[in-house]
Structure 1
Amino acid sequence: MTIVRPATPADVSLILRFVRELAEFEREPDAVQATEPMLMEALFGQKPGAEAVIAEHDGEPAGFALFFHNFSTWTGRKGLYLEDLYVTPDARGAGVGTALLRHLAGLAIDRGCGRFEWSVLDWNDPAIRFYRAMGAVGMDEWRVQRVAGDALTKLAGR
């Protein structure tokens, strides 16, 4: 049986472990810069920038989802953006991912969101098939743009 519950400050080390495992899966094991204090502040500080939920399967931590609100000027409503969804290898195929997505879809509805969105790597065919089976539609005409590091500093004129 899978339950999904809000993360608490006591879960920060677990969340960081899951983030690192996700980065390993996504072939970017050295890309994680987050630390426990950073996640504590981001999730539970004075102005949280994100929220997280923990999935437990048969009483054991089996995955997590980290999300935040964005806004659509076209719908005039906020949306829910899923930054990370991770299910441990042992729990895959047991309904944990489905439970996490259903939980977040319910939050989006309860909070009056017009959309529930996320990105997926183009090579992650199992995830893409899973998301399509859950009703997701690919936004293939859109391309994510990112400015980070020195390029961000340069763009800011600093």
Structure 2
Amino acid sequence: MTGPPVIRHAVRTDLADVVALAAEHAAYERAAPPAADLEARLADALSGPHPSRLRCLVAELPGGELAGYATCSTAFDTWQGRDYLQLDCLYLRAEHRGLGLGALLVEAVIAEGKALGVAEMQWNTPDWNAGAIRFYDRFGATRKDKKRFTLALEQGGRG
């Protein structure tokens, strides 16, 4: 099969591949691996009681292989008093970078935000990821120097 890559919403049958991509993404960012039951959690987030909570887009190559993914959801900006789109993950396998797929994924996420009626998109990237920073700069994005903190609540948050 030939033709251009397709950016589309993930479906249930894509989730095993999305989980594999997420594991590669976590390793790339030097983070802990995804939850063991991530596929079920994603399925619930995409089609459970709050289906708009998560949007997952995939970059599908001719032949059906998934080259990458992007996930996003809305969040609330207290200072602006409005929702924004939070781009949580954007990842392409190394062999598919530099081919324009990342830009197609970002453009698809931007379209999601516009369809939702939000005025802004926000995201984070590790400060050591110079390639990603250059990529995002090309979109005209501005940076805010902040540190992102996480606190595990499932184990009580302390200790």
TM-score tier after normalising by the smaller chain length: 0.7 to 0.9
Task: Say whether 1:117 aligns with 2:119.
Answer: no
CA contact (8 A) 1:67 1:84 kept: yes
Structure 2, unaligned runs of 5 or more: none
Partner of 2:73: 68
Partner of 1:100: 105
Aligned equivalents of 1:86, 1:15: Cα separation in 2: 10
**TM-score of the superposed pair, with normalisation by structure 2:** 0.86
Aligned equivalents of 1:90, 1:37: Cα separation in 2: 28
CA contact (8 A) 2:84 2:120 kept: yes
CA contact (8 A) 2:27 2:33 kept: no
- CA RMSD in angstroms comes to 1.9
Task: Say whether 1:17 aligns with 2:25.
Answer: no
Displacement after TM superposition at 1:23 (Å): 1.0
Q: Write out aligned runs for 1:79-158 (5 A).
A: 79-140=84-145, 142-149=146-153, 150-152=155-157
Q: Percent identity of the aligned residues?
A: 32
CA contact (8 A) 1:57 1:91 kept: no
Task: Give the SS at the match of 2:125.
Answer: coil
Structure 1, unaligned runs of 5 or more: none
Task: Say whether 1:5 aligns with 2:8.
Answer: yes
Query: Which letter does structure 2 place at the counterpart of 1:26?
Result: E
Select 1:26's aligned residue among 25, 29, 36. Answer: 29
- The number of equivalent residue pairs is 152
Aligned equivalents of 2:111, 2:58: Cα separation in 1: 15
